[in-house]
């Protein structure tokens, strides 16, 4: 299994509080991603990183920020949690082999509940 660890695995938080989710990899892959998965929507990209301090927005980035200060760590922050951010969050990593994309490997997910 790819070395990806997400923490925490489960979290319940109150509306309006900030929350930070952590993704740690031991594969030294260049690309890291944060997705959320909701019933009826599938996996949607929140933010991604293509190197240390290099990040970009995905399709559902409002209300989220990210940081990557080291190759191995990618943090996702909910600046002020809302009930609509209740979801399962997945981190993924990938590398590139020449011009061809390579598969992304996923973590086990973080189940976040905002009450």
Partner 1 sequence: EDQVTQSPEALRLQEGESSSLNCSYTVSGLRGLFWYRQDPGKGPEFLFTLYSAGEEKEKERLKATLTKKESFLHITAPKPEDSATYLCAVQADGNNRLAFGKGNQVVVIP
Do you find a cis peptide bond into 8, omega within 30 degrees of 0? yes
| 104 near partner 1 (CB under 8 A) | yes
Handedness of CA 9, 63, 85, 37 (dihedral sign): negative
Residues in the chain: 115
Nearest approach, Cβ of 103 to partner 1 (angstroms)?
4
Between residues 35 and 64, which has the closer beta carbon with respect to partner 1?
35
Site for partner 1 in 60-99 (CB under 8 A): 90, 92, 94, 96
Distance CA 30, CA 94 (A): 7
User: Which positions touch partner 1 (CB under 8 A)?
Assistant: 31, 33, 35, 40-45, 48, 50, 58, 90, 92, 94, 96, 100-109
């Amino acid at each position: 299994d790819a070395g990806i660890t997400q923490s925490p695995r489960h979290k319940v938080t109150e509306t309006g509080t900030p929350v930070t989710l952590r993704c740690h990899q031991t594969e030294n892959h260049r690309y890291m991603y944060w997705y959320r998965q909701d019933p009826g929507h599938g996996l949607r990209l929140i933010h991604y990183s293509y190197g240390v301090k290099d990040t970009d927005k995905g399709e559902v980035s409002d209300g989220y920020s990210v940081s990557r200060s080291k190759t191995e760590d990618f943090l996702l922050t909910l600046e002020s949690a809302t009930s609509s951010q209740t979801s399962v969050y997945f981190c993924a990593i990938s590398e590139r082999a020449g011009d061809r994309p390579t598969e992304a490997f996923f973590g086990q997910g973080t189940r976040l509940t905002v009450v």
